[in-house]
Amino acid sequence: MVPASDNDSRKAEEITELVREIRERVRARYPDSSASNGWIAVPDLMPLVHARDAAEAKVASIGSVNPRPGGPLNAVIQWVKRNIARGLDWFVRDQVVFNRQAMACVEATIEALNEVNRTLIKLSLPIGELRGEAAELKDVRSHWTAWRAEWEQKLFLNETQFLRSLADLQIAFQHRATLMETNFRDIVKSQHSDYLGALDRSTLDIQKRLWADLQKIRLEYDRLIHSELRVVRQHVAALSHEPAAEAIPARPAPSQEPRPGMDYLRFSERFRGSEEYVRNSFKFYVPLFSGRKDVLDIGCGRGEFLALMHEAGVPARGVDLSREWVALCVQKGLRAEVADLFRYLGDLPDFALDGIFCAQVVEHLPPDRIPEFIRLAAQKLVRDGLIVIETPNPECLAIFATHFYLDPTHTRPVPHSLLAFYMEEHGLGGIELHRRSPAVDSIPELAEVPQGVRDALFGGLDYAIIGRKLT
């Protein structure tokens, strides 16, 4: 028979071993019961498990006695304890049941807490991610707040700078637009002025060419009419049975100068005008003779016109009855000779001249010799040759009260219509008339006369008639 002390010792060891195994099973069953997470602090259930194990051990040890060392005394003590425990078994039975129910409740509580821990552990990872994202969001928010303040400041500065730049651009654009508009207006105005100038020049050029063409056409018609009239006259002369009238012999040139007994040079200086005055008056005719090859000045006088021709580079010569005046011209280096105009022209070959100038001469000729002078002049001119005759204007009544009758060598004034008729009769066309030397310049009192009356009766003191050889 095994001693009671050995049985108690063995039973205590079994209980201890059983408690150890229970702890190991609990640790195996709840491996994470004491674990904690970095994000969630999981409650440690091990103290609760140890307390439960201790309570279970206490429950299991109810009705047993503590083992004691062997020996007769201890064996007696153990036997007494066991008998007392058996005797009290009915008394502690309900307590044992209660303790076991309480332990079951504790076990269920531990299991629930352990399930909560497992759930918390499962939620730990997403919670950690959320906390990381929350930290990032917090960092982003803090940075975004600072960035927003800085961005708003920069936005304000940029907006201010932009508005200033926009205002500057608007001002610059407006200024540039104003300049462009001004330049455009100036250019348009300049182009318009240039266009009007070009239009005026073109119009003037067209008018000049038109008048030149009309003048040429007129000259051609005058030539044609003159040729037809000449042919008709020749036919009429051939059909006439009357004997030809004997030619009237030309009056012989006077053997002496037709000058009265006076100093005619001094007379001309006083009543005709100084050389400078006459020279300025004759400048009007210089462009008409430009480009001519041989010009004759009939009645060259002091050589005013010859000097102008010499300055213009136009070959010119003169004739006059006054030896004194011819000597004066030669002294000036001008070509001049003493000759009667009828004899001089008669000795020249036909078509020898391309220009004739005769100023203040025809009023000295007998009226019946003026047609002869025109005929001779026309014969000596080449085709398109030019003749210019200047003489006092009988339309102007002022000449009869001033210079015409002052010259005793004047015969009578010659109307321009009569000279034009003579010129047309002898093949001269393109007749032009120019009234010169307004009387109001010599007689200022005429300015008080009405314009119409002054123009009709007190116009130019002289006139110039211009003709061109048609054939």
In this structure, what token pair is assigned to residue 231? 């042919």
Residues 6+ apart with CB under 8 A from 376: 342, 345, 346
Average pLDDT over every residue of 122-128? 77
Q: Which residue has the higher pLDDT, 110 or 206?
A: 206
Q: What is the DSSP string of 177-235?
A: HHHHHHHHHHHHHHHHHHHHHHHHHHHHHHHHHHHHHHHHHHHHHHHHHHHHHHHHHHH
Whole-number Å distance between alpha carbons of 348 and 341: 11
Q: How many percent of the chain have pLDDT more than 90? A: 25
Average pLDDT over every residue of 299-319? 93
Average pLDDT over every residue of 68-79? 69
Q: How many percent of the chain have pLDDT more than 70? A: 68
Domain spans in the chain, listed from the N-terminal domain onward:
4-141, 264-469
- Does the pLDDT of residue 404 top 70, yes or no? no
DSSP state of 359: E
**pLDDT, tens digit, 9 for 90 and up, residues 111-120:** 777 788 778 7
Would strands 460-469 and 428-438 be described as parallel, antiparallel, or unpaired? Answer: antiparallel
pTM, whole model, 2 decimals? 0.48
CA distances from 230 to 131, 215, 222, 377, 424 (A): 135, 22, 12, 18, 12
Determine contact, residues 47/106, Cβ cutoff 8 Å: no
Confidence of residue 340 (pLDDT cuts 50, 70, 90): very high
Dihedrals φ, ψ of 37, to 5°?
-105, 155
pLDDT at position 419 is 93
Rounded mean pLDDT of the chain? 78
Confidence of residue 251 (pLDDT cuts 50, 70, 90): very low
**Strands of 336-338's sheet, edge to edge?**
336-338, 316-320, 295-298, 353-359, 381-392, 460-469, 428-438
Q: Which residue has the higher pLDDT, 440 or 294?
A: 294
pLDDT at position 241 is 47
Angle, in degrees to the nearest 10, between helices 46-60 and 4-29: 150
pLDDT at position 245 is 37
- Does the pLDDT of residue 345 top 70, yes or no? yes
- Does the pLDDT of residue 254 top 50, yes or no? no
Task: Give the fold, CATH level 3, of 264-469.
Answer: Rossmann fold (3.40.50)
pLDDT at position 357 is 96
- Does the pLDDT of residue 34 top 50, yes or no? no
Dihedrals φ, ψ of 202, to 5°?
-65, -40
- Does the pLDDT of residue 350 top 70, yes or no? yes
In this structure, what token pair is assigned to residue 23? 């702890």
**pLDDT, tens digit, 9 for 90 and up, residues 256-268:** 344 555 555 565 6
Whole-number Å distance between alpha carbons of 198 and 206: 12
